[in-house]
Structure 1
Amino acid sequence: MGPGIADRLFAERHRVRLAALAETDPHLVAHDLASPTSHVAEALAAAEVLLTCWGAPVLTAEVLAAAPRLRAVVHAAGSVKHHITDACWERGIAVTSAAAANALPVAEYTLAAILFAGKHVLPAAQRYAELRAPHDWLRASDGTGNYHRTVGLVGASRIGRRVIELLRPFDFRVLLHDPYVDAVEAAELGVELVDLDTLCARSSVVSVHAPQLPATERMIGARQLAAMPDGATLVNTARGSLVDESALLGELVSGRLHAVLDVTEPELPPRESPLYDLPNVLLTPHIAGSLGNELHRMADRALDELERYAAGVPFADPVLPAALHHSA
């Protein structure tokens, strides 16, 4: 994994548990497997399982050749696309990830964004700071509120499905667009399945949870944004490339739409980007996913999977190569 990750991922209790589950040095962290130190090379040659996280080196055929005993990769984070290669699948290496654990804080962030969007919390707070005086907030709040508001979710990913669960206690109408979900499954999820244009046209809040794929690039384009009702909010915690940012900027600068953006394209907007200053935009630096003590949830999930492997039990949450073409 990348430098500095292990100390944030593992508390001492995780290192103790890791040492009990496997023959390992719980303090040995490899950042480079292509040109490893002698100590790392020795450990790689003997390794049966790799425990990885963000910033993990790519597992090329050359790296795998130096790891003849490797049988499994346990990823203590979400997507494995950055380091798992075709060579891993060809070798028959079993892979699992903590994507389900990482989905939880993203869904929680999304729920907060949806609830605040419905109450118009951001503009109300800004107006309050400007006025600093008595005001008819009841009249100013006409048209706000979350009762029977329509929320559109783009993508029934792990995160999208968790958002659906979190929305159930509230009085929302929930629309879903996902080409891999049929009407029967949508009914089971308790959502209405619609096409993307219809979802945008009917939703007060549109939240993006689709994976980054060639087919999803700029899937929220000028037509979809123009179809959104005046005053609607776009929430993006997926990837910036899924939204046509130039078209979105036009809608935001005009003030017609609002946005909660945890991701952008590029990931760090240029210093001169209007996104930093627009009063109708909440821009955050990709913090919806696991941070702080939430990393420990991913560590727990990864060690649960390692424990299953050690017991000869299949992974509870395996990564299947056939599913990667339509998932994150």
Structure 2
Amino acid sequence: MADPATQGETPPSTHNSIEKPKNEYLVMYKPGVTDEQRREHEAAIHAIVIQKPGFDGIRQSWNMGAFQGYHIHMDPEDLAQIDYEFVSCVEPNVVATVYLATTADDAKATGSMVNQAPSTWGLGRISHRDKGYYNYVYDDSAGEGVKIYVLDTGINIDHSDFGGRASWGVNYVPNSLNTDENGHGTHCAGTAIGTKYGVAKKAYAIAVKVLDRYGFGDFAGIINGILWAYYDAGSNRDKAVISMSLGGPYSQVMNYTVAAAAAAGMTVSVAAGNDNNDVKYYSPASEPSAVTVAAIDWNDYRYTMSNWGAGVDVFAAGVSVTSDWIGTNDATNTISGTSMVNAQGSPNRIAYNNSGY
């Protein structure tokens, strides 16, 4: 199938609801459905919905490589009328949350090596084979030319630790400010690219706000965010990372969206979750093409709340991680969870690889 960017498609609009979804569904087309077949199907859906006042119908259509679908608001009594000739599956739109805990190999370098001392224990851990170090040894070119799309609560892009390397992308949370009103997204971005707290100190972070001030959103909004990042990265998708320290229950539609982004060349890194359970029950953590990151503590033991299982790709520091925060442009906070792991782990290791480290 042709790249949707060549078919006159545009990124999703910013209409989305962060309230608990009611009568909302995620519909995924079968592979290979044509534009004409989509129009035929969606016209039939419109004819059904228009008969019931109070329902919006199709709120957003999605087209990203092999992934095609839409987000619809309709009477559940009418679901049986959906024609499955072109449709693969229909799922309810569900709530997603941040993965913040409620309790607290050698590579060839292409640039100059820098020894940051002191640093956080997590930075020390990823740059040494043995535990217990508080200095961070890294290549000063790490992350150069790489964009990390942080799908989260937003980013305080004016924080001093970013040094101008954080920018605002898009906001899919209605009636919210174009900034981080929670702190979680800023913390993750700081752990990713911060001058003091970040792993890849030359990478750029782009705020894609999909969660509200309380850390809640829904899968439809997150899928919108993934597609926005896909379009924004354009021809540089091999230098782009989608970082999601969030999740919810298993979803075939969510996983297929992630797989389509990965197939287009993007690296998708996700947190394993904090339920002390197998990641196979969660999305996007269960998607094999994503890099799923779980948490360890200072002693290299699995963090007690971290999810686990065959779907986990890598472990990183997830207990008492210090990074940037909101409130002032030099604020910090120390928190725990697989959210911190994802931000500190694979997207930044990937940023090293993509920059030639």
Higher relative helix content: 1
When you count strand as a share of all residues, which structure comes out higher?
2
Higher Cα Rg: structure 1 or 2? Answer: 1
Q: Relative contact order (C-alpha < 8 Å, sep 6+): which is higher? A: 2
